[in-house]
Amino acid sequence: MRVKFLNCYVDDVGLMDSIMKIEGIIKRKKPSQHIVIYPSKINSMQKDLSLRLIVNKSPLITTDSSTILHASKLLKRPLKQRVSTKLLFIELLKKCEEQGYRPYFLGSSNEVLEDVVNYVRITYPTLDISGYHNGYFSKKDTLKVVKEIQKSRSDILFVAFSSPKKEYWIDEYLGQLGIPFAMGVGANFDVLADEIKTKPIRRLSKKIRKLLVHSLFGNAFLLVHTLKARVKSLSQ
């Protein structure tokens, strides 16, 4: 079931239902972008019409935020389920190995990316990785990267860009990439690479602190938007 509140659609699905929908998208071979909704993204969508259009046209929109679940209940459009982006990423890697889907990894630094790729090769030995590229390329090199991804003939593209950069980037180049399913994984490349090395989170501490602060402000602004919408609904 798809729920709409605060100008945003969200699919009320769990992890396994999401996997089934993604497999359907891959088999249809119609290039599509999966969207993960967080408070900061909904806040941006209130003023950013372009982002709103990109998000709401996605065939699969999930949330990884309990704050959004609570907000949806306040607005009488209750969402019951959230999907962990990290778990979805891991489950899709398993599905790639089982079904022969070929993933491409895009984003983060060379060091982190190599850690992730090596982990995937060891953990899923029969999985065919179609390619990978770091996220630090200039605008003039973008088309070169796009063509490289296009030539890989991948089934899934995992993109580790920040939001809303990844939504805009995927939407702009999705048709040229020719990949059935693209998914933004945020900082999960970095998180996974750090877990692989089993070290204290010193290398990620600055990024995590920044994400936590960003999340705190995002939750606060979402509460403001929710309360405004709730008051408006009661006055009608």
DSSP string, 22-48: HHHHHHHT--EEEEEE-HHHHHHHTT-
Is 222 within 8 Å of 72 (Cβ atoms)? no
Sign of CA dihedral 142, 144, 145, 147: positive
Q: What is the pLDDT of residue 216?
A: 59
What's residue 191's pLDDT? 82
What residue type is assigned to position 204 of the chain? L
Looking up tokens 């991948």 gives 154
The pLDDT value given to residue 212: 53
Q: What is the DSSP string of 149-174?
A: HHHHT-SEEEEEPPTTHHHHHHHHHH
Spatial neighbors of 36 by CB under 8 A, at least 6 apart, are 61, 62, 63, 64, 83, 85, 184, 186
| Regions of the chain where pLDDT drops below 70 | 197-228, 230-236
